[in-house]
Chain A
Amino acid sequence: MLQAIDLTKRYEDGILALDHINFEVKEGEIFCMLGANGAGKTTTINLFLNFIDPTDGQALINGIDSSKEPLEAKKYVSYVSENVMLYGNFTARQNLDFFAKLGGKTDMTKEDYYAVMRQVGLQEKAFEAKLKTFSKGMRQKLGISIAMIKDAPAILLDEPTSGLDPKASAEFQKILLDLKEKGKSIFMSTHDIFRAKTVADRVGIMKEGRLVMMRTREEFLEENLEKLYLDYMQEKSA
């Protein structure tokens, strides 16, 4: 569903942010990309969303090259950014309504919106409150509910739990597994090894633009993922 083939990005200033990355996320699979700040996780996601053009390689969504047919490709993907930003003048429901329509869901009712907001654990009183009064955690939740409403087969999550409190984080984990259950392909970038270990079907470790390690669930459960991660990180300074 999501596939990176020799995906490479060199920014205009010469930084090689991605160096021939290859991976695939199948239906019903959660792929967690671990990596330090600046490893290239967001760059990867931006390539899938065609926010930037690849220097080389392809980012495929449902087999569609997102740099060649971005509009077609984006029909099959939902996205939650690292720092969800929505329209401050609009209420949560109005935001949800707008993005649902952009996502092609034009027949949603107020009840549908409320239901999904409840599902992500947003308080009732926030449903009709203006977004500018929201905390980062609340925005993050609404961002997730937007992704859920769109109901696309692939989901890109860029450090979605940053800013969520532990309780919300746990709720989010449930939602993730729920989505996986529904057959969604989920790509999630994160620092959070603990979370990755509990939900991921596969884990990749990214370092300075290269995918230095990839493990299936069976594999990383046998090994010590934390140690592996730390080793790879330290290798950098070595």
Chain B
Amino acid sequence: MIRYLVRKEALNNITNFRFIVSGLIALLLIILTTFIIAEKYMKEVDQYNEFIAADQQSLGDIKAYAELQLNAHRPPNPLIIFDSGISENLDNSVVITHQSVPRQGLEADAENPFTRIFNAADLVTIFRIVFSLLAILMVYDAVAGEREEGTLGAALANAVPRDSLLLSKFIAGFIGILLAMLIGLLVSLLVLQLVYGISFSSDQWLRIIFILVSSLLFMGFFLALGILVSSRVRTASISLIWLLFIWVFTVIIQPNLSTYVGSAVVRIPSREQIEGAIAQNWDEYRAKHQELEAKIREEVPGDPWHTDHDSSWPFYVCFDGNTCGLLRYVYRTQRIMPVFISYAEKEYQVYRNEYEVYLDRQLAVQRICNYLSPAGLFRRITSSLAETDINHHELYMDQARQFRSTFLSYLTNEKKVFSENANLYFTQRTMDQIIHNDYEERLAKRRQGVETLTYGRDSCEPFDLSDVPRFSYREPGVAASLHFVFLDLLVLLVLTAVIFYLSVISFHRYDVRQNS
């Protein structure tokens, strides 16, 4: 029975002008969007390759460890074509240095950079906005419309179970949407492949499939909703009005509402407050620094005047003056630098406690509100699958922070830059040369007109940094991404099922007569 009912619904949809037109419009939008985002992605790829090349080049010219800083780049993600998520708001490159801990920069107005108010034009946005409307168009007249037409009574004069009739409308709508989506997706993938040569890894293919599946689930929600509403009212036009009203609320207002509720419930401290707390950290450091510096001056007395040197910090590789200044640098590197590093790490803790914790709380509130918002759930699910959401950004930042630890350990433990080899932090002169005060000797030579400046940056060999750790982003894998949004998927599924169930109940009580 279902088979015939579905076939009839499908035939009805195919012969329906409004689906053909709206389907074509949707397809056009998809193609357009694909081109726009693919261009953007290609630019990102170029930029990424430039970054990597520049990093490689700069590594070949490090002559003091103070010069050494690395970058952690997150490779461009072609899945932004499906869901750009919050990728627009965030950096995909962070500097890795022992002097600071990577973190999301403080936004100008201390707003939450992890929330999305505006939607980038990506395929999922088209699904969410255009295809959900298409779904509504397919079913808004499912029950009420057929009653008005008089065909509902004609069909139900037969031994047709009402559930089957409803289910067939759902299935036919689903098939219609599936076809439209598949065609759109296929065209988009062809454009990516043929025009841009963008290809996907097997993990990414899985992600695309899951994005499609969750998009269908979201469409299922609207199909069920459309059927429910149309089995609650008497005419198709009233059904359509209700559905458009609900659509605007669900798709446009509600997701932003949960964002709004999040920021209303959890206030993020002002920029001044956060910066104040950070400044306090550095005030503390300054006091420690002065204490340590005084001790060093006590230990290494003298007047560190120098006649000449090669550019500025950290390139004190030639030093044509009193070496007591150099020795002080060694001690600073050994004693003050580790303190500085610990304060840099403290700064990150302050930042976490004063800012990120609030962001997290805000996001948690948003997530809870989101459970009532199908469009919000859908957005969370797909951006997780596309790895463009906050969780994946955090994964990347975590990896960057981990990498900084590795790098720090490389400097500290392997190269002993803050202990035995402290000289290498700023010069390639050996400790012997630094400790030996040959100032008088040189001064005499200089008076004779002999050039004494023998040791410049240019005369040093670059370090061999083949053993320096390199950052490479570890993809979390689709299972991990699904894990983040498992509950969201479940809730969306349950919401859809509940609404469909309600529509079945409603239809069982429905008066199918045309004239009543």
Beta-carbon contact of B156 and A49 below 8 Å: yes
The answer to whether the Cβ of A38 comes within 8 Å of any Cβ in the partner chain is no
* The stretch of A67-75, A172-180, A188-196 that contacts the partner chain: A67-75
Beta-carbon contact of A103 and B150 below 8 Å: no
Interface residues contributed by chain B, number (CB under 8 Å)? 24
In angstroms, how far is the closest chain B Cβ from the Cβ of A39? Answer: 15
Beta-carbon contact of B153 and A94 below 8 Å: no
Please give me the residue from chain A that is nearest to B147 by CB atom. A85
Q: Say which residue of A51, A75, A94, A102 sits within 8 Å of B511 (CB atoms).
A: A51
A51-B513, A74-B158, A81-B514 given. 14 additional CB < 8 A pairs?
Answer: A49-B156, A51-B153, A71-B159, A85-B153, A87-B149, A87-B151, A88-B149, A90-B11, A90-B12, A98-B4, A99-B154, A102-B158, A102-B159, A103-B158
Given A52-B511, A71-B159, A102-B160, A84 and B154 touching (CB < 8 A)? yes
- A selection of 22 A-B contacts at a CB cut-off of 8 Å is A49-B157, A51-B153, A51-B511, A51-B513, A71-B159, A74-B158, A74-B160, A79-B157, A81-B514, A83-B150, A85-B151, A85-B154, A85-B514, A87-B12, A89-B15, A90-B8, A90-B12, A94-B11, A98-B8, A99-B158, A102-B1, A106-B4
Beta-carbon contact of B158 and A46 below 8 Å: no
Contact with A along B488-504 (1 / 0, CB 8 A): 00000000000000000
The answer to whether the Cβ of A150 comes within 8 Å of any Cβ in the partner chain is yes
Q: How far is the CA of A99 from the CA of B153 in the complex (A)?
A: 12
Chain B residues with Cβ below 8 Å from A74 are 157-160
Q: Say which residue of B4, B15, B16, B512 sits within 8 Å of A101 (CB atoms).
A: B4
Q: How far is the CA of A169 from the CA of B149 in the complex (A)?
A: 25
Q: How far is the CA of A146 from the CA of B153 in the complex (A)?
A: 14
Interface residues contributed by chain A, number (CB under 8 Å)? 31
The answer to whether the Cβ of B469 comes within 8 Å of any Cβ in the partner chain is no
Q: Say which residue of A75, A85, A88, A143 sits within 8 Å of B159 (CB atoms).
A: A75
Given A71-B161, A101-B4, A89 and B154 touching (CB < 8 A)? no
Q: Say which residue of B1, B12, B514 sits within 8 Å of A83 (CB atoms).
A: B514
In angstroms, how far is the closest chain A Cβ from the Cβ of B141? Answer: 12
Chain A residues with Cβ below 8 Å from B155 are 99, 102
Of listed A75, A88, A102, A104, residue having the most chain B CB within 10 A: A102
In angstroms, how far is the closest chain A Cβ from the Cβ of B164? Answer: 10
In angstroms, how far is the closest chain B Cβ from the Cβ of A219? Answer: 32
Chain A residues with Cβ below 8 Å from B514 are 81, 83, 85
Chain A residues with Cβ below 8 Å from B511 are 51-52
Please give me the residue from chain A that is nearest to B15 by CB atom. A89
Please give me the residue from chain B that is nearest to A74 by CB atom. B159
Chain B residues with Cβ below 8 Å from A79 are 154, 157
Q: How far is the CA of A101 from the CA of B158 in the complex (A)?
A: 10
In angstroms, how far is the closest chain A Cβ from the Cβ of B334? Answer: 86
In angstroms, how far is the closest chain B Cβ from the Cβ of A14? Answer: 15
Please give me the residue from chain A that is nearest to B14 by CB atom. A89
In angstroms, how far is the closest chain B Cβ from the Cβ of A111? Answer: 20
Q: How far is the CA of A46 from the CA of B513 in the complex (A)?
A: 8
Of all A-B residue pairs in the complex, the 5 with the closest CB atoms, nearest first, are: A85-B150, A79-B157, A101-B4, A102-B158, A74-B159
Q: How far is the CA of A106 from the CA of B153 in the complex (A)?
A: 21
Chain B residues with Cβ below 8 Å from A51 are 153, 156, 511-513
Chain A residues with Cβ below 8 Å from B150 are 81, 83-85
Q: How far is the CA of A164 from the CA of B1 in the complex (A)?
A: 32
Beta-carbon contact of A81 and B153 below 8 Å: yes
Q: How far is the CA of A52 from the CA of B515 in the complex (A)?
A: 13
The answer to whether the Cβ of A86 comes within 8 Å of any Cβ in the partner chain is yes
Chain A residues with Cβ below 8 Å from B158 are 74, 99, 102-104, 150
The answer to whether the Cβ of A148 comes within 8 Å of any Cβ in the partner chain is no
Chain B residues with Cβ below 8 Å from A77 are 157
Chain B residues with Cβ below 8 Å from A103 are 158
Docked complex: A89-147 residues within 8 A CB-CB of B? 89-90, 94, 98-99, 101-104, 106, 143, 146
In angstroms, how far is the closest chain A Cβ from the Cβ of B127? Answer: 27
In angstroms, how far is the closest chain A Cβ from the Cβ of B427? Answer: 86
